[in-house]
Amino acid sequence: MSRAVTGRHSPDKPSHLRRAGEIWDGPTPWLILAVLWLAAFSIFPFLFAVYRSFFTFNIQSGKFVPAGLENWVMLFEDPRVWNALAVTLKYVSLGLGIELVLGFGIALLYNQDPIGVGFFRTAMVLPMVVPPAVVALMFQLMEHDSFGVISYYAYKLGLLTPQEPFLGGEGKHAMAAILLPDVWQWTPFMALIILAGLRSLPRHPFEAAMVDGANAWQRFRYLTLPMLMPVLVIAVLFRVIDLFNKSFDYVYILTAGGPGRRTEVLSYYDWLATFQYTNWGYGSVLGLFMLVIMVVFGNVLIRVFQLRW
Amino acid sequence: MTLFFLFPIYWWFLSSLKPFGEIFHSPPVYTGFEPTLSWYRTVLLGESYVTQEIQSTGAVTGEGGGSYYSVPFLMNSIIAALVSTLIVTVLAAMAGYGLSRFNIRGKVHIVFWILSTRMMPPVAVAIPLYLMYQSAGLLDTRLGLILIYVAMNLPLGVLLMKSFFDDVPRDFDDAALVDGATRFQAFRMVALRYVWAGLAATAILAFIFAWNEFLFALVLSGDHSRTMPVAASTFVTSYGTEWGYLAALGSTAMIPTLLFILFVQHHLVRGLTLGGLRE
């Protein structure tokens, strides 16, 4: 593409200007900074993790001891990993499902331009700008078993009992307790992305479908949904990555993985292994395990939906 | 529906104005309490919380020397988020343009690699990063936070900018090139003009994610660079949680981002189309 126009400089152009501009004719200068930056912050941590995964950290001597495949074998024998994986998958799928459905609903509603849509749209941004750690603290206050405002109404409505509150008890509702802040915070994000997508859809296919007598569901199913797909796939991809990796903030503050291990997601277990049990080798294995899951997921998603870059 | 999403923020703000006893009242208190600004006075002005607390509760909590004065933490957060956003926006625009305009061998793989750096679990990156920063003297510095926030936000930024540039017909650039502009001039004076909304959306998202970040700040920052979310989490002491200070800090912390967003709000919704729909 760029080669085709190489002879474009007008002959009267000063030669020093021409030369100065020509370095931009190839892709390298455009990409180099971003790529180097990312490489510096991903390749070293990655190689470090791979290397460390073959050592165990001896806390008495403060030294790393070669451990062969020990940490990797442990990954498959450790029941806590499989518990954490199950908890994480439940968390990701519930969170994503609720946020997608609610987000779609809100976006379709707002797309009808109800009165005051401008105000509401602005208001919807608010949850996103509160740091998840602070959101978790907000919900800790509101979900408190004796003076939490959400708990109070949940008791009134019979959704919860003081014996089995959000936080504490046997933890029957602990998953809801950590899902609630995530849904609250990121449903608006979904809604805004979908709304933006809806707004940019072309009108003609819809008009044609109306003429052909397609009903609202058919128009949604065969026009809206397929045309929104590229937007949805990217939104889902980034949401899943964050649900998977960053649920840490909520769990760390709200439940610390408990009660029992009911909310011990992988990212939190990795944190415990690394920082609490100072088992860096095993922590590295867990981190790599998480990375593999995400890379596989990303590949599958992109293949299935044939995302073009 | 929107009210459901606004309620927690309303409640939080209400709590920040409540005197100590009312925060913990059940059934919930909406009106009829005497609003107080004492939480804000401590958090924003650094007035002695000990004096205030003795007056209001008759008890002193918190360990000696602990302070709830939070302006420095807010400043750390604002600086880290703002500077990293600026760098991300510039680098992402350039890289996005490069990926969009040039035929590169293995482009799909480059793009997926960029995406995959975002998939690295922050928990796993924290330790190597800590060691890297230790040897480079970057621990507990704002610069250190800025560097990692740029790396954290680049993948999304590059992908977004690439798709925005993909929407701008190449003919536009080529016309400028034929007229004697350099590639860089075509980028700056032609292509960039058409992706303005997208650039704003990228900046907003980068700002939000940097502003919200917790784990890296928890591990890499210290007294000189602690950000607001980490400071907030220290309000949970072994004696109990300082809800009043937290509510005041949380309410204050919404203001900078909100201002930033109100400023560019319509760009956000337009830009968030992610550019994938024009074909």
Does A179 contact B at CB distance below 8 Å? no
Same domain for A35 and A88, yes or no, is no
Give the total number of structural domains in chain A. Answer: 2
Q: List C-alpha distances in Å: B241 to B182, B215, B244, B247.
A: 59, 20, 9, 11
- A138 and A176 housed in the same domain: yes
Give the model's pLDDT for residue A293. Answer: 92
Q: Do B276 and A230 touch (CB under 8 A)?
A: yes
CATH of domain B71-226+263-271: 1.10.3720.10
Tracing tokens 């507990």 back to the chain, one arrives at B140
A33 interfaces chain B, CB cutoff of 8 Å: yes
Which residues contact residue A6 at a Cβ distance below 8 angstroms, ignoring those fewer than 6 apart?
Answer: A25
Whether A47 and A85 map to the same domain: the answer is: no
**Burial class of A2 by CB neighbour count within 10 A (0 to 12, 13 to 18, 19+):** middle
Q: Do A159 and A13 belong to one domain?
A: no
Cβ atoms of B271 and B201 closer than 8 Å: yes
Q: Does B83 touch chain A (CB under 8 A)?
A: no
Domain boundaries, position A16: 3-52
Radius of gyration for chain A, computed over Cα atoms and rounded to the nearest angstrom: 25
CA distance A185 to A187: 6
Residue A10: is its pLDDT beyond 60? no
Same domain, A225 and A138: yes
Domain CATH code at residue A203: 1.10.3720.10
Cα R_g (chain B), whole angstroms: 23
Of the pLDDT bands very low, low, confident and very high (cuts 50, 70, 90), residue B151 is very high
Q: Is the pLDDT of residue B63 over 80?
A: no
CA distance A40 to chain B (A): 9
Over residues A278-303, the mean pLDDT reads 88
What average pLDDT is seen over chain B?
A: 78
Is it the case that residue B91 has pLDDT exceeding 90? yes
Q: How far is CA B255 from the centre of its chain?
A: 12
Give the nearest partner residue to B121 out of A105, A187, A245, using CB atoms. Answer: A245
Q: What is the pLDDT of residue B277?
A: 38
- A 89-128 residues inside an 8 A Cβ radius of B: 105-106, 109, 120-128
Interface residue A193 vs chain B (CB under 8 A):
yes
Mind listing the pLDDT tens digit for each residue in B10-43? 877 777 777 766 666 666 666 666 667 777 777 7
Strand partners, B237: B240
Quote the pLDDT of residue A260.
75
Say yes or no: A15 and A84 in one domain: no
**Same structural domain for residues A127 and A9?**
no
Note the pTM of the prediction, 2 decimals: 0.83
Q: Which tops the pLDDT comparison, B231 or A296?
A: A296
**Domain assignments of chain B as residue spans, ordered by start:** 71-226+263-271
For residue B32, what pLDDT is reported? 64
Structure tokens at B152: 């954290």
Considering only residues B20 and B172, tell me which one the structure prediction assigns the higher pLDDT: B172
Chain B nearest C-alpha distance from A211 (Å): 24
Let me know whether A45 and A135 are in one domain.
Answer: no
Residue pLDDT, tens place only, B183-240 = 888 888 888 888 877 888 888 888 888 998 988 988 888 888 888 888 888 777 666 6
Q: What is the pLDDT of residue A252?
A: 87
- In chain B, residues 250-279 whose CB comes closer than 8 Å to chain A: 250, 253-254, 257-258, 261-262, 265, 268-274, 276-278
Q: Is A209:A223 a contact under the CB 8 Å cutoff? A: yes
pLDDT at B278: 41
Same domain flag for A244 and A115: yes
pLDDT score recorded for residue A97: 94
| Cβ–Cβ below 8 Å for A302 and B112 | yes
Does residue A226 fall inside a structural domain? yes
pLDDT > 60? residue A26: yes
Q: Give residue-wise pLDDT tens across range A177-214.
A: 888 889 998 998 888 888 877 877 777 888 888 888 88
Any CB–CB contact under 8 A between B71 and chain A? no
Same-domain check for residues A26 and A133:
no
Q: What is the pLDDT of residue B264?
A: 65
